[in-house]
Amino acid sequence: MFKWYRQVSSLERKTFWACFSGWGLDALDVQMFTLAIPTIIAVFGIDKTQAGLISGVTLVASSLGGWVAGTLSDRIGRVRTLQITILWFSVFTFLCGFAQSFPQLIFLKALQGFGFGGEWAAGAVLMAETIRSERRGKVMATVQSAWAVGWGASVIFYTALFYFLPPETALRAMFMIGLVPALLVVYVRRSIPEPEKRAVPQSSGEKIPLVGIFAPEVLKTTILGALLGMGAHGGYYALMTWLPTYLKTERHLSVLSTGGYLAVIIVAFWFGCMASATLIDRIGRRRNVALFAICCTITVCMYLLLPLSDTEMLFLGFPLGFFAAGIPASLGALFNELYPAHIRGTGVGFCYNFGRIASAGFPVLVGYMSKSMPLGQAIGIDAGIAYGIVVLTIMFLPETTGRSLN
């Protein structure tokens, strides 16, 4: 599975670890919010719809950040943009710990999201352009597995802090831990050069058109990529934003039990990324995405819509996390291979992050629907629709396996 790691160059390894670390630390910051939703509702005196609104606003801001950062990486370089975005989301995650009201929290979360979306766009293009084409799918999917590592770390922090500290103190401490990713900038600055073939000309004065991804020859690709991003993000965020709250408030699990159930899903998510890494270069991007999307739709419906016991839910959590991982693990390679170099950062940033804008309504809708139906049912319906969009969209995109990034 990791044979490729011994065969790549020192630069490819350093770039891999920079992107892997950045994505894992992103997950640490973002997943802290989903774990803390019940406490946020209590501390700030808001309802579930307002809590969903925080998530929705963060996703919209991250979408804008991803598009802007993708375009910026085409102008000033991938590495420099990566450093800026890491610092940005780290600082604003930390500042969320000082919010005293709902408006302050939603404002700071929006700024955090702007940097978070930008970091993925810059890092994904940097990794794709650094690694050789025959290993691109495998390596990009492995980078995606860092999300499980960061997610797992957030659950550990959540379990420890909420077990030993009063809820409000633990909540603020979780946000303040978000400053840690800023240290990654030191490593990136010292170790990662700009990809030589993609370095931005210093004297040509050439400008990268922001609207280049809407040119006639790539317009269909951009529309389909955006819809794919919407389905992939909509399913994930509808499910993972509200799952900790569902386990705690409707299944009545304790903090320690909730952490245990989530641990199963997180470990499975990592294995799902590794399975996707193994399959994506063998069966192709389209088949890989379709396979995981269909399996994920079935599993989500079973997990949330059937009358399962706590033990059955624990065991079903593994396929839930496993299949949820395969779709995002495929997007990094696929989106990069859809666009030429001069608009690649813009295209990747737009498709991936437009999906976030469009998917921002899913967590909000779950919160709204839960007023008239059980929360688990609302999550299951929304996530099922989103993953269905993935299955339909991927049928109309070209197969890009082995495509050279020129």
Is residue 150 within 8 Å of residue 27, measured between CB atoms?
yes
Residue at token pair 């709250």: 245
The ranges assigned to domains in the chain are 10-190+211-394
pLDDT of residue 205: 45
Distance CA 232, CA 250 (A): 26
Taking the chain, what is the end-to-end CA distance rounded to the nearest angstrom?
Answer: 28
Of the pLDDT bands very low, low, confident and very high (cuts 50, 70, 90), residue 108 is very high
Pick left, alpha or beta for residue 63 (phi over 0 → left; psi -120 to 50 → alpha; otherwise beta).
alpha
Q: What percentage of residues in the chain have a pLDDT greater than 70?
A: 94
CATH for 10-190+211-394 (1.20.1250.20, 3.40.50.300, 3.60.9.10, 1.10.10.10): 1.20.1250.20
- The per-residue pLDDT for range 126-139, each reduced to its tens digit, is 888 888 877 888 88
Of the pLDDT bands very low, low, confident and very high (cuts 50, 70, 90), residue 223 is very high
Residue 215 reports pLDDT greater than 70: yes
Of the pLDDT bands very low, low, confident and very high (cuts 50, 70, 90), residue 166 is very high
- The per-residue pLDDT for range 348-363, each reduced to its tens digit, is 888 887 877 777 788 7
Provide the 10 A C-beta neighbour count for residue 406: 6
Of the pLDDT bands very low, low, confident and very high (cuts 50, 70, 90), residue 210 is low
Q: What percentage of residues in the chain have a pLDDT greater than 90?
A: 16
Range ranked top by mean pLDDT from 62-76, 341-355, 385-399: 385-399
User: Regarding predicted confidence, which is higher, 103 or 159?
Assistant: 103
On whether the pTM is more than 0.85, the answer is no
Task: Give the DSSP H or E segment for 365.
Answer: helix 361-369
Distance CA 223, CA 214 (A): 9
Of the pLDDT bands very low, low, confident and very high (cuts 50, 70, 90), residue 113 is confident
Query: How far apart, in Å, are the Cα atoms of 213 and each of 73, 74, 210, 229, 350?
Result: 15, 12, 7, 15, 9
pLDDT of residue 401: 85
pLDDT of residue 107: 94
CB-based contacts of 210, cutoff 8 Å, min separation 6? 71, 346
Mean pLDDT of the 307-334 span: 85
Of the pLDDT bands very low, low, confident and very high (cuts 50, 70, 90), residue 406 is low
| Cα–Cα nearest to 172, from 58, 34, 43 | 43
